[in-house]
Amino acid sequence: MNAPLAPTPELALLLMREAFDRQRTAFAQEINPSREVRLERLARLSAMTERIAPAIERAISEDFSHRSVHVTRLADVMMVQTAIRHARRHLKEWMKVRRAPTSVAFMPGYNRVMPQPLGVVGVVSPWNYPYQLAMGPTIAAIGAGNRVMIKPSELTPRLSELMREAIAADFSPEEITVITGGADVGTAFVSLPFDHLLFTGSTGVGRQVAIAAAANLTPVTLELGGKSPAIVNPDADLEEVAPRLAMGKLFNSGQTCIAPDYVAVQRHGVDAFVGAMRRAVQKQYPSIAANPDYTAIISERHLARLQALLDDAESRGALIVPLHPEGLARAPGSRKLAPTLVLNATEQMRIMQEEIFGPLLPVMAYERLDEAIAYVNRHERPLALYWFGRNAADRDRVLARTISGGVTVNDCMWHFGQEELPFGGVGASGMGAYHGAYGFRTFSKDKPVFHQSRFAGTRLMFPPYGRTFDRMAGLLKRIT
Ligand code: NAD
């Protein structure tokens, strides 16, 4: 496929205004789509995903210069299909109007909660899992009965164009539409008066998106990034830890929002940890440059950024330890960066200040576990936290004393794959959540409805106020 031409920002703005108005009008004509309509839309999205899966693998790989097809298959295709299956299976239960308890003072009246769609939802997505992070929120939004406009990343132009074409072929623009373009298009996109906006991307851009959304009082879900720590307990079995940590760090070459960003290891265990990581990495990736399983860095700019992080760390006294015999040498033109540990990492180094988003893993040595906990708490709330070990009391101490978007115990990243768990950050790593029922709720208004009874006791509180009112107020005080 040739690299597609992006529309000019003016044209994109015009198109997105028109698309937005069409979706609003269509929503007004079908405020509460039936379950059958929603199920059919989800089934159509699933069939589309199945049909274009090979093209998704090709497009993403070309956009990255090389991306493992297995990574795409698992993280972009399978995860989308799983989310659709889960939503289709549970839609009936999620859509149900629920009875809620009623205080005795209001009986025989009764309460119900009625989930309703919000209207037109905007989804802004990043490049790292470009299909999944556009479609995951879309699945939740259409399951909840909304219309969706998607603005995918400009850094994966082939995948974005493929998605635009496929959606345009299989969905009416009133149902789902894709608007492609760069940051300028993104800026205009988030200025539309959406009924909800879900943004996945960096913390800096997320802040701008929240400001733009505030102008319209558009509620936002922000799925951001940050530095997710892995803490290795002194009693952890390193032969078990290392392969799991290597998988988490090197999947998509570390270009994952929930990748372990840095690892805290007890000081006297650092040498053993380095050895275990070397063995694990070399077993998972016998080679790097020629290995189709090993993914390249998305752009020259990101590659230069990662190299600068390494240079800065080295200049401030870090020890750079390549985990693979191929070392850090790169074939000309290749954007593959080899897995590398950064020992003696300190807070003064940029690599311990910025989200890494690459296959570099700083190791922070601690003496006592509480130091690692205190370190996490001194910094911005991470999107994920990983703890490895056996001692349940230590595990519970880490869980109770740290705040993060999510946690996997004794592994990395798998909490993301749980459709029954909410996924989202906290503080600088985001706000709000989606996945499964939580996504349905994010894109619904839970409308509370109180049904008054013909025999309502509240009529005893009508004015003119006097003895009856006082007696009722006294009674209410006792029974509520
Ligand atoms: P980014 O913030 O640069 O871009 C994300 C999207 O926002 C793109 O579509 C971009 O075109 C658009 N955009 C850029 N400027 C904009 C603006 N001013 N207004 C509106 N939209 C604008 O992020 P990225 O580099 O594509 O993705 C990497 C970041 O995303 C990392 O920080 C990573 O941790 C985070 N991330 C988070 C999650 C999560 O689920 N929490 C998942 C993946 C990635």
In sequence order, the 6+-apart residues with CB closer than 8 A to the CB of 321 are 274, 340, 341, 342, 343
Would you give the DSSP letter of residue 252? Answer: G
Number of domains in the chain: 2
Asked whether residue 451 is assigned to any structural domain, the reply reads no
Q: State which of 159, 211, 224, 261 you would mutate to test the pocket of ligand 1, scoring each by most atoms of that ligand within 8 A of its C-beta.
A: 224
Atom of ligand 1 nearest to the CA of 187: 19
Same domain, residue pair 308 and 279: yes
Q: What is the pLDDT of residue 234?
A: 96
449-458 long-range contacts, CB within 8 A, separation 24+: 449/111, 449/112, 449/113, 449/114, 450/102, 450/106, 450/109, 450/110, 450/111, 451/109, 451/110, 451/111, 451/112, 452/109, 453/107, 453/108, 453/109, 453/110, 455/108, 456/106, 456/109, 457/105, 457/106, 458/106
Residue nearest ligand 1's atom 8 by CA: 153
How much distance in Å is there from the Cα of 341 to the middle of ligand 1? 26
Helix, strand, coil share of the chain (percent; to 5): 50, 15, 35
Q: What is the pLDDT of residue 332?
A: 73
- Cβ atoms of 105 and 49 closer than 8 Å: no
3-class state of residue 406 by DSSP: strand
Task: Please compute, for residue 246, the number of CA atoms within 13 A of its CA located in the half-sphere on the CB side.
Answer: 25
pLDDT grade for 472, boundaries at 50, 70 and 90: confident
Cα–Cα nearest to 434, from 174, 132, 204: 132
Last residue of a domain, one of 424, 456, 473: 424
Atom of ligand 1 nearest to the CA of 383: 41
Same domain, residue pair 287 and 213: no
Q: What is the pLDDT of residue 7?
A: 64
Asked whether residue 473 is assigned to any structural domain, the reply reads no
Same domain, residue pair 418 and 437: no
Same domain, residue pair 220 and 297: no
Asked whether residue 455 is assigned to any structural domain, the reply reads no
Same domain, residue pair 279 and 205: no
Same domain, residue pair 178 and 34: yes
Ligand 1 cavity residues, CB under 6 Å: 124-128, 133, 151-154, 182-183, 186-187, 190, 200-202, 205, 208-209, 223-225, 257, 355, 357, 383, 425, 430
How much distance in Å is there from the Cα of 384 to the middle of ligand 1? 17
Average pLDDT, integer, range 141-169 = 98
**pLDDT tens digits, residue range 264-293?**
999 999 999 999 999 999 999 999 999 999
Same domain, residue pair 303 and 207: no
What is the reported pTM? 0.95
In sequence order, the 6+-apart residues with CB closer than 8 A to the CB of 267 are 365, 366, 367
Asked whether residue 140 is assigned to any structural domain, the reply reads yes
Q: What is the pLDDT of residue 6?
A: 61
- CATH at 347: 3.40.309.10
Asked whether residue 363 is assigned to any structural domain, the reply reads yes
Q: Which residues are catalytic?
A: 223, 257
Last residue of a domain, one of 391, 424, 457: 424
Say whether pLDDT at 4 is over 60. Answer: no
Q: State which of 76, 128, 298 you would mutate to test the pocket of ligand 1, scoring each by most atoms of that ligand within 8 A of its C-beta.
A: 128
Strand ranges (E), 82-238: 98-100, 110-117, 120-124, 147-151, 176-178, 196-200, 220-223, 229-232
pLDDT grade for 353, boundaries at 50, 70 and 90: very high
Residue nearest ligand 1's atom 32 by CA: 202
Answer with the residue of higher pLDDT: 350 or 106.
Answer: 350
Q: What is the pLDDT of residue 224?
A: 98
Q: State which of 153, 297, 299, 380 you would mutate to test the pocket of ligand 1, scoring each by most atoms of that ligand within 8 A of its C-beta.
A: 153
Q: What six digits make up the tokens of 447? A: 């409308």
Asked whether residue 4 is assigned to any structural domain, the reply reads no
How much distance in Å is there from the Cα of 126 to the middle of ligand 1? 4
Mean pLDDT across the chain = 95
Say whether pLDDT at 5 is over 70. Answer: no
Say whether pLDDT at 199 is over 60. Answer: yes
**pLDDT tens digits, residue range 174-188?**
999 999 999 999 999
Say whether pLDDT at 167 is over 60. Answer: yes
- CATH at 220: 3.40.605.10
How much distance in Å is there from the Cα of 128 to the middle of ligand 1? 9
Same domain, residue pair 141 and 257: no
How much distance in Å is there from the Cα of 318 to the middle of ligand 1? 30
* Backbone φ and ψ of 445, nearest 5°: -100, 120
Same domain, residue pair 210 and 326: no
Same domain, residue pair 396 and 436: no
Asked whether residue 475 is assigned to any structural domain, the reply reads no
The boundaries of the domain holding residue 123 are 9-224+430-445
Asked whether residue 454 is assigned to any structural domain, the reply reads no
3-class state of residue 164 by DSSP: helix
Same domain, residue pair 281 and 413: yes
Same domain, residue pair 329 and 255: yes
Cα–Cα nearest to 356, from 248, 225, 223, 205: 225
**pLDDT tens digits, residue range 297-334?**
999 999 999 999 999 999 999 999 999 887 776 777 88
Say whether pLDDT at 347 is over 60. Answer: yes
